Structure formats: C-alpha cells, structure tokens
Structure 1
Amino acid sequence: MTELSISTAAGVFDAIVAGPPEGRPVLLLHGFPQTGRVWQRQIAALTAHGYRVVAPDQRGYSPGARPERPEDYRISALVHDVVAITEELGWATFDLVGHDWGGAVAWWTADAHPGRIRTLTIVSTPHPGALASTLRTDQDQRERSRYMIDWRETPATEERMLAGDAKELRAAYAGKIPQASAEAYVRHLSQPGALTAALNWYRAGRPDGVIGSIDVPTLYVWSTEDSAFGPAAAQETGQWINGPYRFETLQGVSHWVPEETPETLSRLLLEHLRTHGEYGTTAHTPSMDSQKR
C-alpha cells in the first residue's frame, strides 16, 4: 500500500493505492468518523487476488479538498468527487464499495452513473429511499437517526466531541475497532477544521434530487447490532434493487463492520466481485457516462 495524491477541480484527495496497475479497479469509500484507513484489511485481500484498489480520504477528510461551507458537502458534490477521482485515475468502469456515509455516496453514484459501475457493495447503509421511507413509518429508525439532527449544531458538536482528549469521539468507536486505528482517526479529525468538515456532511441539507432503483449487481451487508441503521430499512433496501441482489446479515456485529469482522467482509466482497464481472484488465481511459434517463 502506498499513498497517492489525486488532483481534481474540487481539490487534491489523499488516497491509499495498492495492487497491480493493470488489475480490475475497485474504489473504496469510507464514512464518519474514519478515513481510507478503514479498508486496510479489505485492500490486502483484494490486492492478493490481483485487484487494483484505491481508497481516498473523501471531501473534508483530505486537507487539500476541504471547503468551509456546509452546502459544499451536498450529495451531488460528493458524487461528482467519485466521478472526478475515477476519471483522473483513468477508470472507465470500476467496482464501488462504501461504508456508512461512503455507502450513501455509493448508492447515489450507482443511481446517477450506472454505466460506470461494474458492481456495488454497500456496508451498513440502507438504500436512501428505504431509509427515507422508514424514517416516516418506523419509530425505531427515527430514534436511531436522532443523532444526525443533534450533530448539525455548530460549533457545539465539535467542542463536545473533542473535549477531554476527544473522549466522546473515541467512545463512538465503542471499542470495536483496533486501538491503533481509533488513535489515527482521532489524530486526523483533531486537526484544525477537520472535524467541522466531516460534520458538514450532516449539515449540508437534503439531497438536491431524487434517487431511484439500482440496476447494477449489488451486495448489501448489514449487521444486527448496528446502532445507526435498524432492521426495517435494511430489509426494505431490496425493494430498491432491480439488478442482481445479495443481502447478508452479520449477527452480533456492530456498525464498524470493515474493522470488526474484516475477514468475513473481505470474503463476501471477493465472492461478489467474482460472481459479477469476469476478472481481467479494464481499459484505463475515461469514457462517456451511460446515464440513467
């Protein structure tokens, strides 16, 4: 694994890159409050099978792509980052994987640019349509999502999370991830402006569009002890998938799937990639998007 800087019109994104340049490309999107480091174990598994993997620190997490206004973190801008990053990498098509907020971005990207996505793998985050539906009808999901409203307070949230040597931020990981990773995330988000940028994802406002059903082959991995996303939204997600769909439930696992159960997730991911799309090289020249009409 090496570090890579990816220059786009929106700024410079820091990323982890690994695997042979000619390998089938896979983009991994992290969530809050983490970085591309969250995918270390999956990167190792993928590259061992010849895949080319890039895991960027997303908008706000990369110091070189950290706008100050909350509205600059709207979902359309985050999707545009995915397109810009992969075009800069020269990937005409790619496999897309996302966890937490990275999962939300991946859902919206697969909806807007299905011709670019070979397969979609989502960890934890239900389809945005399913989540919106259950927020209206399911009291359990409303309670689970209440933190999203609370975190829109600024700068009170940042001050509270970082107080006492970032005690509240550390507690968010619930002891479910390696201590070294937790310390790395805390150091990263303790940098001036970093935590505010990460919280701006919650403060950006409602999506500026409507998401539809997903046509690309999709794997959705949900865990029963996820504190943010309950069973109602997870189970409804399948209603929003038109293409091949696999839903996996991890019993007794918390929200932090990539680091809590790395071997299981890596196995499921590799199975999904092998099932959909013959392994081989992919042309490394950008192509015109095949947009949903």
Structure 2
Amino acid sequence: MIDRFRQALPHGITLSCRAAGERGRPVLMFLHGFPEAAFVWDDLLEHFARPENGGYRCIAPNLRGYEQSSAPAEAGAYRARHLVQDIAALIATEGGRLECLVAHDWGGAIAWNLANQLPQLTRRLAIVNSPHPGTFLRELQGNPQQQQASAYMNFLIRPDAEALLAQDDYRRLWAFFTQLGGASWLTEALKARYREVWNGPAGSPPGAGLVGGCNYYRASPLRPPRPGDPAAAAVTLPRDALTVDLPTLVLWAMEDSALPPCLVDGLEDYVSDLVLERVPGASHWIVHERPQFVAGRLQAFLA
C-alpha cells in the first residue's frame, strides 16, 4: 500500500512524497524525471517494501515544482545546488543514509550530483537513462546527433512553453511519450493521473503544473547551443565535480531517441565502480514499459 505525506524541510521547501514499507528499515529513494511525478515509481515502491524483496522503506518524493511540492516562481530556484539540497535534507529525515538512490531522467541529474558531492548519504547509486554530466556535456558540445536529439530543450525554455504544452489536451506531451517509445503502456487511466499533475491546482491556467518542470530546463545551461545562446558550449566542468566512487548500476534503454547510446561511452572514466547494462528494445520510458525487468536488475544489484 502506498502512503502519502508532505515533508517540510529546514530550508523552507516542502516535498510531497509517496512511500511504502516500515520506517526504520533500510531506505531506497526514487527520483522521477520530466514530465512525470512520484507516482511512476509506485510498482517499485510496493515491490521492494515486501519482506521477500528486502522489506525496504521506499520513498519517492515529488521533486520541487511538481505535484504538491513547493514550487518557487523564479527559474534560478531550480539550479542543481538547490535540487541536491532538497534531497539531502529529505534523506536526513529518513535516517541520514540510503541503501540506494534510484533515479531516472531529471531525477538522475540530481542523483549524479549528489553522489559526487555528498557520497556519504547513500551506499549505492542506480541510474536509469539519465546522462552523466560529463558525457552529456561532451556530446552536447561536439555531437550534432545529440544536439538534434536535445533540441526539444530549447522549446521547453520558452516563456510560453507551459501554455503550448497544455494545448489540445496536452497533445505535444502525449507525443513526447510516443516519440521516445511506442507507449502501449499509456492507458486512459494513466493519462488521467498525468493530467491531474499537469493541470496544477484547481482554478489555475492550463498547464500550471508544468511550470516547475520547465524551470529545470530554464535553470540549466546543459542544452544545445543556438545563435545568441551558447548554452553548453560555454560550460566547463572540473573533473572533481564529475567523479563518482559509489557502487553504481546504470540501466540504459537503447531505443531512447532523446538520449542515444553514445552517452554511456566512456562512462567508466568517471565512475570507478560501474555496472552498465545496455537494454535493447526499450525506450526512455523503460520504468513504465518494463517495471519487472527494472525491479529484477535493482534486486540483483542490491544483493
């Protein structure tokens, strides 16, 4: 059974969370991406909370800007250091150290940074189709294929992006799912759950629940360069900000059209203890497509 709660953090942010399993047990934390929300992890929360699968305490926060979590108005509030601060503070409320931090898409961007900056907060790291900042920067700066694949980022930083995404019952967002994978999993019931998140509070303009998610893109320079906006071309990341020494599992769905397989080339140069599995026939939305597969690989990694 999934429990829901709101956790106030010392720096003034509140995160709405979903959880399964008993407090006091080893903790797994799951971070979602865009345009998703914490509910995408429900199957895995319930799986790992069962005694036969480890009996973990499993928590999935809605990241800042999503669902009922705090949503600061200014884009600068979504820079990486603030997002890492949120998750570090949430970990402190759950015993101070995780058994594993599991993350997908934008959640992975936070997790890579936390693993580099605050490795003492988790014993292990598991990443699902979320590029390491070192390889992502390399490809954005020098690979036209990646620049084209990430061109949607420059749409999402437009000031009217949320309103455009909300048009025609979120037509562009449904296409976002189907273009990055076949999306046979996208049932009408699941669409209703997404609409609830994207609509935002009652009485808000259409797409109000997407403002926070779009602000992640507005706050980050890691996007394709374009005339008048150097973006990633102007970024330099020191190597000591990129290394990860935690035991790390990376599952990489090979049919991800936004994040092609080149992003895991050379990953071992940054991650000293790496298990990398390339998954043929799966898309960016592998957590939806193949939850049992993801659970099985995580189970083996945790063991």
Question: What residue is the counterpart of 2:167 in the other structure?
Answer: 163
Q: Number of paired residues?
A: 272
The residue number in structure 1 matching 2:231 is: none
**TM-score, length-scaled by structure 2:** 0.85
**Contact 2:67–2:197 (CA under 8 A) maintained in structure 1:** no
CA contact (8 A) 1:173 1:182 kept: no
Q: Is the aligned partner of 1:250 residue 2:265? A: no
Deviations 1:138-182 (A, max 9, x none): 221111111112211012x11211001111122222224342223
The residue aligned with 2:190 is: 181
Match of 2:7, SS? strand
2:101 is matched with which residue: 96, 119, 137? 96
AA aligned opposite 1:4: F
Contact conserved, 2:253 with 2:282, CA < 8 A, in 1? yes
Q: Counterpart of 1:141 in 2: which secondary structure? A: helix
- The amino acid of 2:282's aligned partner reads V
Aligned to 1:107: 112
Equivalent residue in structure 2 for 1:146, among 122, 146, 151: 151
Offset at residue 187 of structure 1 (A):
1.9
Q: Secondary structure at the match of 2:266?
A: helix
Q: Identify the residue that residue 219 of structure 2 maps to in structure 1.
A: 204
Distance 2:185 2:15 in 1: 24
Aligned partner letter, 1:257: I
In structure 1, the partner of 2:299 is 270
- Of the two structures, which has the highest relative contact order with CA contacts closer than 8 Å and spacing of 6 or more? 1
SS of the counterpart of 1:90? Answer: coil
Query: Are the counterparts in 1 of residues 29 and 98 from structure 2 also a CA contact under 8 Å?
Result: no
- The percent of aligned pairs where both chains have the same amino acid is 29
Following superposition of structure 1 onto structure 2, how do residues 65-144 of structure 1 map, counting pairs within 5 Å?
A: 65-144=70-149
Bigger mean CA offset, 196-205 vs 208-217? 208-217
Partner of 2:31: 29
Q: 1:64 & 1:222 partners in 2: Cα distance? A: 29
Change (3 A) 1:177 1:108: farther
1:16 aligns with 2:21: no
State the alpha-carbon separation in 1 of the partners of residues 195 and 83 from structure 2. 23
Taking the aligned partners of 2:23 and 2:118, their CA distance within structure 1 comes to 23
Q: Where in structure 2 are there 5+ consecutive unaligned residues? A: 223-234
Identify which of 179, 184, 199 aligns with 1:190.
Answer: 199
Could you tell me how far 1:137 is from its partner in structure 2? 2.2
For 1:120 and 1:64, the matched residues in 2 are separated by: 24
Unaligned runs of 5+ in 1: 275-293
